[in-house]
Structure 1
Amino acid sequence: MKLVRTGAAVAVAFVLVFPLYWMVVVALSSRRDLLGGRVGLVPGDLTTENFRRVLDAFPVSTWFVNSVAVSLSVAVLTVVTNLLAGYAFAHLRFRGASPLFVLALATLVLPVQVIMVALFRLVTEMQLYGTYWAVILPTSASALGMFLARQWFIGIPRDLLDAARLDGAGEWRTFSRIVLPNARPLVAVLFFMSLLSSWNDFAWPLIALKDNELFTLPIGLLYLQGQYGPDYTATMAYALLNVAPMLALFVVFQRSFVQGFTSSGLR
């Protein structure tokens, strides 16, 4: 049985890792070798020419800074709103809490395309269209993150919170001094989830931003494909530049990420 589980894990890992491996191979291969069919699973002559062409043709550094600024802003705001909402649903009693929680979870089944028109009208009337805030504010909360936070906070003994209140601590002091220090893995998983989602977001930033200087990396990939056409080596090189930061971040913080998930009820 253990052999079967190990074999299944290896097979799943291969399926997940192979596209990334092939991206690296194509990105480090020359266009001539790719068109000539001389690129195999084991790469031959490697070159960084594709990365140089992409960096010379497009303001990749500017788009990278934009992605970092937008993603970090979204991640910080999402963590704050989800922690507060999760604590409220877990330990505060107010009228309509259950229906409101169910309504918030129901938004998980709505694709972003359904609300794009409403979001566009909203940011336009607020005079935010074409700015970073048009991308940051509509995505600064997550129903899934709120659910994870609620599940985590439910696991905190109510007697501990009642003891703090009896000692004179208000709700904010109870949250900041007792609850929050014990939720570091949760903060890590919420931060990484929102950061990854915002980093890879394409559809809404493409609509909300109109200035090329404000574009993020995923939007830049669309412009690269339009200019280079079937030049898959340049496209893969750019895609690798987009994937690498999030991949490195996950490798560094994978322990906190996994611990946060396993402790939040999604086992």
Structure 2
Amino acid sequence: MKTQIELSSVQKTAAPLNPPKKRLGAGKNTVIFIVLCFVAFLFLIPFFWMLSTALKTSAEVQSKDVHIIPEQIQWGNFADALNAAPFMGYVGNSLIVSILAVILTVFINCLAGYAFAKYKFKGRNLLFLMVLSTLMIPVQITMIPNFYILKELDWINSYAGLIVPRAAEAFGLFLARQYILNIPDSLIEAARIDGAGEFKIFMKVILPNIKPLIGVLVIFTFMWRWNELAWPLIAVSEESMYTVQLGLAMLKGEHFINWTQLMSLTLLSVIPMLIVFFAFQRFFIKGMVNSGVKE
């Protein structure tokens, strides 16, 4: 009986040792949460400012007094901006370019990543390093040669000229290779034993197992194509082929800029990217984590 009492007293004295660790963990999580909220707020400031400018009158925008909240909210600025420029035509061109570029780029990168990850051939690592080295080449260096190629192919002012030159990305190929390295070789060997061809293996075995990777590539590719300005500025000269970013750039006058219209259209141009991100966000983190370096 005495021993049981002593054990219970020891347990009572030892029990309070654990709660401080839990409290420290909770405090650490709280600090991290506050820091992340602050960083998120900093990222959202430009959007708050764009929305504030879009809802102001032209006189208030040009006033020396700065107000974050508009004195008179002008929701009609969005309708006026849509009527002032063929914005929906720009959106249509950007959607065609972005969607087709996503399909082509994701397919090429995944196919090339599968080859680099699962096929053993002479000079594979050297060729892969050469492809990755293109990431260090500024885009501006390749613009003039690509323009002459488009001119010879008669692809100026065409969707092919906007899509094909950037159809394969070294960054996407790198992510695809690293992710496909995690797929067991036994699955591929089993498919070969069953008589499946190499392309069928890619379509039936590889693609169903890399859905998170595809989600990541879709988000990045769509974002890059939708926000691209420099290449459309070179490949397109007719207004009927303007993309969203090129159209927004052309709205700036030489001596006057209508900031309310420009900010209204800029905010509207963000909506497609948000839709794509929310549609594929559940794959984003998993795809990025599983695309880590592995040899």
Question: Matched residues in 2 for 1:29 and 1:161: separation?
Answer: 60
Q: Which residue of 2 aligns with 1:8?
A: 35
Q: Which residue of 2 aligns with 1:77?
A: 104
Summarize deviations over 1:58-88 as a string: whole Å, max 9, x none: 1111111001001111111001100100000
Q: Which residue of 1 aligns with 2:10?
A: none
Summarize deviations over 1:105-162 as a string: whole Å, max 9, x none: 1111122111111111111111212211111100111111111111110000112212
Are 2:169 and 1:118 equivalent residues in the alignment? no
Q: Which runs of 5+ in 2 are unaligned?
A: 1-27
CA contact 1:23–1:240 (8 Å) conserved in 2: yes
Residue 50 of structure 1 and its aligned partner are, at CA, apart by 2.4
Q: Which residue of 2 aligns with 1:162?
A: 189
**Which 4+ runs in 1 deviate beyond 6 A?**
none
Q: Which residue of 2 aligns with 1:36?
A: 63
Q: Secondary structure at the match of 2:120?
A: coil
Are 2:171 and 1:148 equivalent residues in the alignment? no
Of the structure 1 ranges 14-23 and 45-54, higher mean CA displacement relative to structure 2 is found in 45-54
CA contact 1:29–1:39 (8 Å) conserved in 2: no
Residue 228 of structure 1 and its aligned partner are, at CA, apart by 7.5
Are 2:18 and 1:18 equivalent residues in the alignment? no
Q: Which residue of 2 aligns with 1:89?
A: 116
Identify which of 270, 281, 290 aligns with 1:243: 270
CA contact 2:172–2:217 (8 Å) conserved in 1: yes
Matches within 5 A, 1:183-262: 183-226=210-253, 229-262=256-289
Of the structure 1 ranges 46-55 and 101-110, higher mean CA displacement relative to structure 2 is found in 46-55
CA contact 2:216–2:280 (8 Å) conserved in 1: no
Of the structure 1 ranges 165-174 and 235-244, higher mean CA displacement relative to structure 2 is found in 165-174
Summarize deviations over 1:23-48 as a string: whole Å, max 9, x none: 11111221122223565333443212
Identify which of 71, 79, 100 aligns with 2:127: 100
Q: Which residue of 2 aligns with 1:181?
A: 208
Task: Give the structure-1-normalised TM-score.
Answer: 0.93
Identify which of 78, 82, 90 aligns with 1:55: 82
Summarize deviations over 1:181-228 as a string: whole Å, max 9, x none: 111111111112111100110011111011110100101111111268
Identify which of 130, 133, 153 aligns with 2:160: 133
Q: Secondary structure at the match of 2:253?
A: helix
Q: Which runs of 5+ in 1 are unaligned?
A: none
CA contact 1:26–1:39 (8 Å) conserved in 2: no
CA contact 1:132–1:209 (8 Å) conserved in 2: no
Question: Matched residues in 2 for 1:263 and 1:38: separation?
Answer: 50
Amino acid paired to 1:153: I
Task: Give the structure-2-normalised TM-score.
Answer: 0.85
Amino acid paired to 2:233: L
Question: Matched residues in 2 for 1:44 and 1:260: separation?
Answer: 45
Summarize deviations over 1:3-57 as a string: whole Å, max 9, x none: 3322321221111111112111111221122223565333443212322232222
Q: Kindly report the root-mean-square deviation, in angstroms, between the aligned alpha carbons of the 2 structures.
A: 1.7
Amino acid paired to 1:92: Y
State which structure, 1 or 2, has the greater radius of gyration over its C-alpha atoms.
2
